[in-house]
Copies of this chain bind each other. A is one copy, B any other.
Amino acid sequence: MAFEKEHKILDGYLRDKGLKQSAQRRDILNAFLKTEGHMTVEDLHKIVKRKNPSIGIATIYRALKMFCECGLCRELRLGDGMIRYEHKYGHAHHDHFTCLKCNKLIEATDPEIERLQEKLARKMGFKLQGHLLILYGLCRECK
């Protein structure tokens, strides 16, 4: 099943916090790592139930929040009312482009934009700690 590194990160986090391991969290982490999308809690719940039909959706909520805390995943608020989650460990920072017609979500980054954000923040006397950039428009197929 692999994903040793990620499970090690989770286990280290649990140990540090005095928490316990559980089969549910392992199942959820495996299911999360096996997908490469931008998953909603409900998406993940459907998938995990195939391996563990008795798992409750509250456990998915709790696990994903925990995975975020230990750096395994990242929350993504695209403004559609639901939080989405994507891989963070082993993935470089990137921003997103969403197609207003087909709702496709595509990853994009421009190091120059990142640098100018830093510069803009500095010019205004701010210490930049993060940013959210979402581009909206029509994708290659829809325009």
Contacts and interface: CB of A to CB of B under 8 A. Distances in A.
Interface of A: 77, 79, 97, 99-100, 106, 108, 110, 112-113, 116-117, 119-121, 124-140, 143
Contacts of A135: 117, 120-121, 126, 128, 130-131
A97 B122 CA distance: 12
A79 to B, nearest CB: 5
Given A77-B79, A79-B77, A130 B120 contact: no
A127 B77 CA distance: 22
A126 B100 contact: no
Contact of A116 (B112, B126, B139, B140): B112
A78 B114 CA distance: 20
Contacts of A116: 110, 112-113, 116
